[in-house]
Amino acid sequence: MEQLADIEYNRLEPNKEYEELINKVVNECFKTEGLDKLKLYISITLTVPEVIQDANKKFRNIDKPTDVLSFPMFEKQELEEMLKNGYEVEDVLGDLIISIPKVKEQAVEYGHSFERELAYMVVHGFYHLMGYDHMEENDKKEMRQKEDAVLNKLGITRD
């Protein structure tokens, strides 16, 4: 499996199971969106609530922890152009920061597995990097359909 995710840990011990799941999800996201033809990758930091809260405050002026933060490197139109014309430069699609304790908490809250919640955080963050968001109902619906399509392809369900 190609490595399309550069995974780092901030105040957490490395975990092979996390890495295997993340790489599987990222690879499917890239394949689904045709990005596997480009030389892009995602930088992912797995961390704790205090670190993600600091980043949330610094970059979004929101002083509270969250589950995932996304920092895209390209505008949606730029990505569409890259897909249309090709892009031969190795580059980062963007950065994701994921709070592993928050993922564990939400898995319990939503009544599904930790693996499903972590996979969802990765695919959700990926689509933010692709320029999608969920502020308007139509945008939210489109983003959710894309997220569900990737997770369903991988057999990762809410059960």
- The domains found in the chain, sorted by start residue, are 5-153 (3.40.390.30)
* pLDDT score for 2: 74
Q: Break the chain down into helix, strand, coil percent, rounded to 5.
A: 55, 15, 30
Q: Are 72 and 129 in contact (CB under 8 A)?
A: yes
pTM (two decimals): 0.95
User: What Cα–Cα distance (Å) separates residue 37 from each residue in 40, 51, 83, 102?
Assistant: 9, 34, 8, 33
User: What Cα–Cα distance (Å) separates residue 117 from each residue in 24, 68, 102, 124?
Assistant: 14, 11, 10, 10
Give the residue carrying structure tokens 């369903």: 152
The average confidence (pLDDT) of the chain is 95
* pLDDT score for 1: 65
The model's pLDDT over 73-119, given as tens digits with 9 standing for 90+, comes to 999 999 999 999 988 889 999 999 999 999 999 999 999 999 999 99
Grouped pLDDT means (10 residues each) for the chain, 159 residues: 90 98 98 93 98 97 97 94 89 97 97 97 97 90 96 91
User: What Cα–Cα distance (Å) separates residue 71 from each residue in 45, 107, 125?
Assistant: 12, 24, 9
In 3D space, the residue among 7, 5, 131, 129 whose CA is nearest the CA of residue 72 turns out to be 129
DSSP 3-state assignment of 12? coil
